[in-house]
């Protein structure tokens, strides 16, 4: 019995991640990325994820893309997210979930396959 989920060819699937890179739907990306179900954009952030502030994160892009949930992949470890950043996302009507980048990749793929309005902002391991 085939249990592979049916995912449209126009959907962005995170295939792999490694030191300094992500592979999404056959395309390799160096550095941090934000993955949406319909596109991938490079994310110009290379600082410490624990120091991440609202102006470091292109939240306006999230609102324009119509997502409800933003997964934040903090690289190798679980990132600490400040109360101010969580409040900023809440004010934008977005749920922010922080985890390591591997977990963010897997969670994004599951939620996207379910048709959820999700984005993954990920720092490389």
What does the domain layout of the chain look like in residue ranges? 31-123
For 1-48, the pLDDT digits (tens) are 444 566 777 899 999 999 999 999 999 999 999 999 999 999 988 788
Residues in the chain, overall count: 125
Characterise 44 by phi-psi region: left (phi > 0), alpha (psi -120 to 50), beta (else).
beta
Give the number of other CB atoms < 10 A from CB of residue 94.
17
Question: For residue 122, what pLDDT band results from cuts at 50, 70 and 90?
Answer: very high
This prediction has a pTM of: 0.90
For 57-98, the pLDDT digits (tens) are 776 677 777 899 999 999 998 888 999 999 988 988 889 999
Residue among 65, 45, 41 at smallest CA distance from 53: 45
Question: For residue 119, what pLDDT band results from cuts at 50, 70 and 90?
Answer: very high
CATH of 31-123, one of 3.40.1230.10, 3.40.50.11540, 2.60.40.10, 3.10.270.10: 3.40.1230.10
Residue among 2, 24, 43, 31 at smallest CA distance from 109: 24
């Amino acid at each position: 019995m085939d249990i592979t989920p049916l995912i449209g060819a126009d959907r962005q699937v995170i295939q792999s991640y490694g030191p300094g890179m992500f592979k999404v739907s056959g395309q390799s990306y160096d550095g941090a990325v934000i993955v949406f179900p319909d596109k991938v954009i490079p994310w110009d952030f290379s600082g410490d994820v624990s120091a991440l502030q609202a102006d470091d994160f292109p939240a306006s892009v999230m609102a324009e893309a119509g997502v409800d949930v933003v997964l934040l992949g903090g690289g190798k470890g679980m990132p600490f997210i400040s109360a101010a950043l969580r409040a900023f996302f809440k004010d934008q009507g977005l749920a922010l979930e922080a985890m390591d980048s591997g977990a963010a990749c897997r969670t994004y793929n599951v939620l996207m396959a379910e048709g959820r309005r999700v984005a993954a902002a990920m720092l490389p391991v």
